[in-house]
Amino acid sequence: MSQSLIKGALDIDPWLEPYSQRLIDRQLQFQKWYKDLQTSETSLFKFASSYETYGVHGNWDTKEVVVTQYVPDVVEVSIVGEFNNWDVTTHKLKKINNFGLWSLTIPPVKGEFAIPHDSKYKISMKLPSGEQIYRLDPWLHRATASEVKTSHLYDGRFWNPPPAETYKFKNKRATFNDTEGIRIYEAHVGISTPEPTIGSYKNFTQNVLPIIHRLGYNTIQLMAIMEHAYYASFGYQVTNFFAVSSRFGTPEDLKELIDTAHGLGIKVLLDVVHSHSSKNVEDGLNMFNGTDHYLFHGGSKGNHDLWDSRLFNYSNHETLRFLLSNLKYFIDVYQFDGFRFDGVTSMMYKHHGLSFGFSGDYNEYFNPEWVDNDAVVYLMLAHQLLTEISEKENKYKFISIAEDVSGMPTLCLSIPEGGMGFDYRLSMAIPDMWIKILKHLQDENWDLAAIVHTLTNRRYKEKCIAYCESHDQALVGDKSIAFWLMDKEMYTNMSTLSPLTPVIDRGLSLHKLIRLITFALGGEGYLNFEGNEFGHPEWLDFPRVGNNESYHYARRQFNLVGDDLLRYKFLFDFDAAMLSLDSKYGVLDKPQAYVSLKHESDKVLVFERNGLLFVFNFHATKSYPDYKIGVEAAGTYSIVLNSDDAVFGGHSRIQEVDANGKTVEYFTNNDPWNNRSNSLLVYIPTRSAIVLQLKEKIK
């Protein structure tokens, strides 16, 4: 009976058999939690709807304010704020049960809410020691930077706008067609402006969404949305989990952004941080009730030494309420379409992946001394919740992506199959590979077999998101691929009015090839960090003490693409053409490619995927006329993408249209080649790639 819980996983990967009991134990622990929540909370769905009652809420029918807080280990709880002159004696909460639940209903004053909209408030608690402490509400929906210039703290605010001022969604959630896979534009609202300042939700909606739509991305992954007091943390030191970053605008502005994206057919994912929390006490969760174990593990187990942050206790009932409600809140209130879970490796292992080199030995994934099953079960509950929300939203598919460097087996299998439920994992080895190649190898030493292995080395039936570089590679201290390729010449030789130097020529060519091979060979989805598609010339560095609080590098210079005299437009246009291969023909969410040729001395790579034929020449100096390649389907082929096209900054060495204006066609010979049934001849210039489509099949 128990074996049936993991049958799907064992069918897919028989090597899991020695660890079947560990997988079964994980499933049983999940089922126990699930049943316990159904018993104590009616259902998982209702449990995750706790954001509707916990915190501070205004009832527009009665004008009452209802306060509900989970605060164990204290003597008294009060709500204080501008509305009562911060007096701890006037609005005390009543203890509801012995598990730390407190509540208060505040009647209206003169027919209006006792707590005005957007006014400041805090939760005050009297500890057993007699000390009175003041904290921000863990469930608050808005926090803003203190108006006191000498303070770096955030103030909690009662966000309760009149119904007329609450944003109303106009568009249905976006859906994909049957052909396309997921094409993700990883973006940060604050840096999404050429100006050295903080960008806004409004700016992103008006100026960046049209760019993303024009490029052809069908999904946006929004970073740094959950409120974080320290801007330079990139959003990964969350202080207020239910508040969206106020430095970009209001909650209603974010709703408009997401609704507008849906109108363009674009899904929006939240980069959710449930792996750890900021150590801030005054404006964070840390020491909320005066103890170190409020929602967190106590003692050293509750600290992440490298990240200098607090670690959640996933075995705690109220921690699960808080985190699961957090997910449902962002889906319900802001209409997010799913999540990219940050730091999943840190969650799943008791050692958090610190100084641990994963070799692929299955014992590393299932050793009970290393694996944190409580965290694994939390992630399973999160995916069960997404399934239940989907059932109530006309079977709409919510997306989940895991940032996991370990390669945990079954991570991206469904729970009924014995997995953890993620849809995709990030292929984090791919960007590492490209940086190592560009940093350490001359062009002639590129190992095509090693490149192909890294791009195709993924677990069977577990989907991956491929990417050349994300925000990690754009940060100061590292270099983007464009910068590795072209470095300082990007400041002097990117004008079309200046001669094309060897460095820029090589850089433009390889930038396109690296992206295309990663896109076509690396996974079932594709991700790009904003600006990298056009070779953004500078790294990313947030204002901090070390750079005199400068915003100069905390921006993306989209204006460069609009300048017709700069070569950035070539990379931008190529990115759009590359993505259209998926929207038109289907590349990503299709079976892995068949690689028919990896010729190390010629530096030529050939593969087929879903009817498209990809041909790459990575050689630095050699071009090949009439190069013979294998192909399975016989018929007539034509080029649908050519990296050497002048519109992409190429040299137009490949004739795509003849003298009569007809498309040049390639005809197969019934001559088997490279283990394929047929062959054809192509011209493939140095540092270029072509993609051919079967136009007419010979039966």
Question: In angstroms, rounded to a whole number, what is the distance separating the alpha carbons of residues 402 and 386?
Answer: 14
Please, what is the angle between helix 317-332 and helix 373-392, to 10°? 40
Structure tokens at 525: 């989805």
| Partners of 526 in beta bridges | 183, 466
Question: In angstroms, rounded to a whole number, what is the distance separating the alpha carbons of residues 424 and 252?
Answer: 30
Q: Choosing from 403, 423, 573, 575, which is the catalytic residue? A: 403
Q: Where are the alpha helices (DSSP H) in 441-501?
A: 448-456, 471-474, 481-486
Question: In angstroms, rounded to a whole number, what is the distance separating the alpha carbons of residues 694 and 650?
Answer: 24
Among residues 590, 601, 605, the alpha carbon closest in space to that of 451 is found at: 605
Q: Where are the alpha helices (DSSP H) in 264-352?
A: 317-332, 344-348
- Give, in order, the Cα–Cα distances in Å from 324 to each of 45, 288, 311, 319, 386: 9, 19, 16, 8, 10
403 is catalytic: yes
In 10 A of CB 155, how many CB atoms? Answer: 22
User: E strand or H helix at 263, and its extent?
Assistant: helix 251-263
Name residue, tokens 């449930």.
Answer: 274
Query: Could you tell me which residues come within 8 angstroms of residue 146 by beta carbon, excluding any fewer than 6 positions away?
Result: 152, 153, 154, 155
Question: In angstroms, rounded to a whole number, what is the distance separating the alpha carbons of residues 463 and 204?
Answer: 30
Total count of residues recorded for the chain: 699
Question: In angstroms, rounded to a whole number, what is the distance separating the alpha carbons of residues 383 and 397?
Answer: 11
Q: Choosing from 271, 342, 505, 644, which is the catalytic residue? A: 342
Among residues 160, 156, 166, 83, the alpha carbon closest in space to that of 123 is found at: 156
3 state SS of 477? coil
547 burial via Cβ count (<10 Å: 0-12, 13-18, 19+)? middle
Among residues 510, 529, 502, the alpha carbon closest in space to that of 643 is found at: 510
Question: In angstroms, rounded to a whole number, what is the distance separating the alpha carbons of residues 399 and 1?
Answer: 30
Question: In angstroms, rounded to a whole number, what is the distance separating the alpha carbons of residues 392 and 395?
Answer: 7
Question: In angstroms, rounded to a whole number, what is the distance separating the alpha carbons of residues 634 and 632?
Answer: 6
Decide the pairing of beta strands 612-617 and 604-609.
antiparallel
Structure tokens at 335: 């209409």
In 10 A of CB 175, how many CB atoms? Answer: 12
Query: Could you tell me which residues come within 8 angstroms of residue 696 by beta carbon, excluding any fewer than 6 positions away?
Result: 635, 636
Structure tokens at 345: 């490796």
Please, what is the angle between helix 502-521 and helix 429-440, to 10°? 160
- Give, in order, the Cα–Cα distances in Å from 662 to each of 596, 656, 657, 658, 659: 30, 8, 5, 5, 7
3 state SS of 99? coil
Residues annotated catalytic, as ranges: 342, 403
